[in-house]
Amino acid sequence: MDLLRNAVRPYAWGSRTAIADLLGRPVPAPHPEAELWLGAHPADPSLLVGEDGSETSLLDRLTEDPTGQLGPDCAGRWGGRLPFLMKVLAADEPLSLQAHPSAAQAAEGFAREEAAGIPLDAPNRNYKDPNHKPELICALTEFHALAGFRDAHRTLELLKSLEVPALRAHIELLAAQPDADGLRALFTTWITLPQPALDKLVPQVLDGCVAHLRDHGPFDRECRTALELAEAYPGDAGVLAALLLNRIVLHPGEAIYLPAGNLHAYLHGTGVEIMANSDNVLRGGLTPKHVDVPELLRVLDFRCGDVPVLRGDAVGHLTAYRTPAPEFHLSTLDWTSESGDVEGEWIDSAGPQILLCTAGAARLTTADGRRLDLARGQSVWVAAADPSVLVEPVGLAECGRVQLFRATAGVA
């Protein structure tokens, strides 16, 4: 059981307050801070902090002792790799419109780009590894996102309500096939429009959004989102594509799971994210980074409908977010002063665990008597070889709430 020191990724869309506040550093931070990485991704592995203050890379520890750290089942199944990456994601501006490949698509794409001799750090490289990247985001604050294609009939209502003559042919295209095939046809049409055509169509659609808002139409949030995206990325095909996606608002404790092929963009808010330990992203717009439209179309899943909002299954103080992903499992440990229940929770796993304290403070005690206190923003690595851990809230009456996020490999 070791304290972790984790890397902060300073992407331009990040917040200057959320991660700094969580870590107890001065606010605002000097530059945007987008993601806090907890895990053993080669690009930025966490560091294990010893009692004497020494630091050891978690990646190196796994290389030296994969079975003791991961457990025999996890080490064998994932080749000695930690199969998940946990993040705190803090978005003040929208992320790119993107999707992730399936396991088969990732393996094929990685092999293809390796054979083509494209360097791993090349800006036009799509596949950085041969792995898929399913992910789950659980909201810490109100969290806004676009995810998955909306039901085609509902999208037809939205497009018609804008009353834009230039959209007539596009509406007819979808109306002829109000299903996944029709959405594929319409999305492909929009994402491949020449820039001069986009420069004519997008402003007309935005004018329709403004009129819709002025008339208090039923698609207020969708129209506001299109206008906000267009302000940040004028003339971008992603502005049109956003009109095809579910507009989701998560409240704290709610989550969504994004499987392979799900087109999505996080818009604003802070959440804890867990994913398979991969860096494969296919972008479709709303970004200055590399966009590969043919490759994106190859991996997209155009099935439409609502994206389920997960609220977790609660047993005692533990709430588990179930997904089909074998690489990861996310749960929370939660105590509030209102409940008056301060009884601790024993946790154990046949595999590795990462615990992150996001509210209050907690005391961790192993079955053999080792003890470690976690303050808000601190995290701990629990190796598979470690005995069971008792997690107890500290100072609950004063702080009002103690919360920890727990990442494990597969179903705990």
The residues that are catalytic are 283
* List of residues 6+ apart from 216 with CB closer than 8 A: none
Nearest Cα to Cα of residue 266 among 236, 301, 229: 229
Nearest Cα to Cα of residue 348 among 385, 313, 389, 383: 389
Extract the tokens encoding 279. 């860096």
The answer to whether the CB of 162 falls within 8 A of the CB of 222 is no
Q: Which regions of 286-352 does DSSP assign to beta strands (E)?
A: 313-315, 318-321, 329-336, 345-347
Question: Rounded to the nearest 10 degrees, how much is the dihedral formed by the CA atoms of 91, 132, 294, 230?
Answer: -10
Extract the tokens encoding 131. 């792995």
Extract the tokens encoding 86. 């946990």
Tokens 């705990």 found at: 412
* Separation in Å, CA 43 to CA 9, 39, 369: 10, 10, 35
Q: Which regions of 225-378 does DSSP assign to beta strands (E)?
A: 245-250, 255-258, 264-276, 282-285, 313-315, 318-321, 329-336, 345-347, 353-359, 361-366, 371-375
| DSSP assignment of 252-283 | TT-EEEE-TT--EEEEEEEEEEEEES----EE
Q: What type of residue is 23?
A: L
Helix (H, G, I), strand (E, B) or coil at 367: coil
